[in-house]
Structure 1
């Protein structure tokens, strides 16, 4: 080495603890890895790292370029000792990115059930399986996965946010998901289908339709049932009802179908400004009494508000009562009608 330095005139590069160095592997055998970083002597990878990163270290070959951090500038043996923990971590993230692209199946060990899913460990890295990405058999109690190995696929990798997301369903229900995807590919966006209500939930109704002689469920969200405000789904639908729905969303990746019933009819707010011009008078029915005012239904899907500050003194209202109102203002963008009461006699206290 000294003769080489004398001939070439090169000076050995000094390093400091904590410095990031780049070099090439000169020897990788057993538990020993040497790296040429241009110093007086070759750097050696810390022995303490073998158990933590042995898969990465065992994969190294002579000539591979690696990055490490100096943990000892000069040992008793005159060597630089480096850590390759960062390089190993980078290698793992790259492995997860490649697995996501290729669809490779990995083995995850369940760690802990959380509110939204399951924490798991894959190759020493902690990741997350959302509840929606676990098969039906784990719906009742995800905690049974703690300490157990499950097969998963990577569905999201974000190094900057240290976010790693897996799907167990993508493996255990792969055949069913693939079948559903093919069915969804046959669904016509904006198409109308006959279906049957198979489930009622507070946020909408599940409707079953036929696609290529196969049955598939979709959700009619509460906001897509009617142009009227729907506070209680059961007042509009019940299980077994035959309905016509329109497809408004297809999520092939997650196998979800979004449906609408109201879009099969004209939007009552279209052309509303002409029918409900400012100062025009109309008859309606009180449908709700609230601290902020009284809601009056003028037509199907059309409601207006008599604000509390605009209610005549001494006038009482009751749900179901017919009232005559006039239009104070129209806000088509926010779908709001402000109403006033048409007085047929002088208010109490009027002089």
Structure 2
């Protein structure tokens, strides 16, 4: 059933009379709230507004007939937005609506506005509109449909940062959650729009190198989980300034300043740096400090991060002729540069905040990093290996590892040898920690390899 409304009375509309008007057939034109036409039966409603005329266009399943189905409300008062709602007849179109406004009639303007409406709403569809009401628990958005879109509940809470600073009359983007609920309302969601807004905001903060406040939530092996509003991010251990290295717990449940250093929406990664704030002055001099560093220089530094492949250390480079104490430069001790001995896990030897002495073995000016070493500050035990462990000489060592292909024997720090499985006596088993006498079969100084043979103290069973 199509809208059961009387024809518009030209005199009533033209005079903008308040109250009930009577059309030429003696029927009354009823007063309606201009924002509520949901009680009228139609397949689809949407509205457009030009100047002070609000028009509702109706689309039925049988098609769109604008001549007979255009509803017009002439505002009597912009304050209460009350007026006469009726079906516009062709005669009224000519006499009332088709007023020339420059080169375009009022009807042309209304139809042009209607043409921009996307049609039937679909779940997940993005829409844009104007905020018509804004409260703590509900948001109304005029998207040009028969009723305003409604945002409530968790969708309001999740978009709180997005709504901050907005007011009635501001434009906003949303997504259709339900095209129509049981009460005939269009339910919208701001969650997706808010997510897009947040990622864009963090990207902008990163590009502009601006600081923001976060709250520490929990400390784990890699750093600290933090939050800003309803969003969680991460501050790696290596991104804390010298003041908090080894003391990150002091920031739990406290607000502190950081800068955004990585925004990856696809991986849901949001990474912050605290040291870019607390050590900003020293880090700003990093480029100048690198010019003062030479290979072979030795520094005291602080462990700022531990990874399976090595240890990050922040060193303080003195600035010549400067009043400031120095500049902060980060470097990496690769796992192979920790000790002359084989290191399996750097976490066993170091902890964040620990003070260490290091030597510069390389300078990466492009990335502002140093390549550091600890073992280079001690003598290489293989330097005189051919003299001390000459081929054929006998030595006593301790078994420190068994492998399918042989037994490893250690003699001193940094000097190990291998008894190949083919050289191990068949009746003899070696346990870790066992003392064993061996002789040097061969040396490969370049690759730091020593082949060993077992010194037999008893005649093998086969020869008895």
* The two structures share one fold, judged by TM-score above 0.5: yes
CA contact (8 A) 1:118 1:130 kept: yes
Give SS of 2:257's match.
Answer: strand
Contact 2:316 2:328 (C-alpha < 8 Å) held by counterparts: yes
CA distance in 1, matches of 2:393, 2:278: 59
2:268 is aligned, of 147, 152, 162, to 162
Q: 2 CA distance for matches of 1:199 and 1:110?
A: 22
Alpha carbons of structure 1 residues 219 and 145: separation in structure 2 relative to 1, 3 Å: closer
Report the Cα offset of residue 66 of structure 1: 2.5
Is 1:311 equivalent to 2:424 in the alignment? yes
Q: Unaligned regions of 5+ residues in structure 2, if any? A: 1-55, 67-110, 304-309, 321-325, 350-354
Aligned length: 323
How far is 1:107 from its partner?
1.4
CA shift for structure 1 position 79:
4.0
Cα 1:248–1:66 change in 2 (3 A) is same
Which of 382, 388, 393 aligns to 1:283? It is 393
Shift of 1:116: 4.2
- Alignment partner of 2:441 out of 305, 318, 326: 326
SS in structure 2 at match of 1:192: coil
Q: TM-score, normalised by structure 1?
A: 0.65
CA contact (8 A) 2:212 2:259 kept: yes
Query: Which residues of 2 match residues 1-351 of structure 1 at below 5 A?
Result: 1-2=56-57, 6-7=65-66, 13-15=119-121, 19-27=123-131, 30-31=134-135, 32-36=139-143, 39=145, 41=146, 43-48=148-153, 49-57=155-163, 58-59=165-166, 66-71=173-178, 73-74=180-181, 76=183, 78-139=184-245, 142-180=248-286, 182-184=288-290, 186-188=292-294, 191-193=295-297, 195=298, 212-213=319-320, 223-224=336-337, 245-248=359-362, 250=364, 257-259=371-373, 262=376, 282-283=392-393, 285-290=395-400, 292=402, 293=407, 295=409, 303-307=416-420, 310-312=423-425, 323-327=438-442, 336-341=449-454, 347=460, 349-351=462-464
User: Normalization by structure 2: what TM-score?
Assistant: 0.52
Q: Paired residue for 1:236?
A: none
Structure 1: runs of 5+ lacking an equivalent: 234-238
Q: How far apart, in 2, do the equivalents of 1:206 and 1:146 lie? A: 24
Shift of 1:122: 1.0
2:24 is matched with: none
Give the superposition deviation at 1:258.
1.9
The answer on whether the counterparts of 1:291 and 1:308 sit within 8 Å (CA) in structure 2 is: no
RMSD of equivalent CA atoms: 5.3
Q: State the alpha-carbon separation in 2 of the partners of residues 140 and 296 from structure 1.
A: 34
Say whether the 8 Å CA contact 1:185–1:252 is kept in structure 2: no
> Which moves more between the two structures, 27-36 or 6-15?
6-15
SS in 2 for 1:46: strand
* Cα distance, 1:343–1:205 mapped onto 2, change above 3 Å: farther
The structure that has the greater radius of gyration is 2
> Offset of 1:88 from its aligned partner?
0.7
